[in-house]
Amino acid sequence: MSVESFDPNQAAPAVTMTPAAVEHARRQIQQAGASGIRLAVKESGCSGYMYVVDFVSEANDSDLQFAVADDVTLFVQQSALPIVRGTEIDFGAEGVNRVIKFNNPNVSAECGCGESFIIDEEESV
């Protein structure tokens, strides 16, 4: 029998970014004169929630901070964490458009326009 311990400092980050998303964020942060990017959610749209991404100069008191690169900090609104935990942020092409994509394992359905999503409340809380 073996004993395993859990070290919260070694746990996987709640939200990650692909290299393409980090590079995009780096350029946008620099252009905006910001220090990081904030991810939040709000109740909206035809399904339930939508992502809110802002380039910010400082963290709010309720933000969790994740250093995704030496020069890119991701601030996640603490109240959004149950909804976005496990999300991978990506940046890529959809047809001729370049878009930020949220690969969120908590999403159970999306609206037809792609602006909002539904989560399974029991699994995310």
Specify the pLDDT at position 118. Answer: 86
pLDDT tens per residue, range 78-114: 999 999 999 999 999 888 888 999 999 998 888 776 6
Q: pLDDT: is 46 or 117 the higher one?
A: 117
Query: Average pLDDT, stretch 31-42?
Result: 94
pLDDT at 90: 96
Residue ranges and CATH numbers for the domains of the chain are 13-124 (2.60.300.12)
Task: State CA 72 to chain mean position distance.
Answer: 13
Q: Quick one: pLDDT at residue 2?
A: 39
DSSP state of 33: T
Question: Which pLDDT value is given to residue 76?
Answer: 94
Q: How high is the pLDDT of residue 73?
A: 93
Query: For 1-125, where are the alpha helices, taking DSSP H only?
Result: 19-32, 81-84, 121-124
Residue 4 has pLDDT above 50, yes or no: no
Residue 94: other Cβ atoms inside 10 A: 9
Residue 5 has pLDDT above 50, yes or no: no
Joined tokens for residue 113: 């326009």
Taking only the tens place, the pLDDT of each residue in 37-79 is 999 999 886 768 999 999 999 989 999 999 999 999 999 999 9
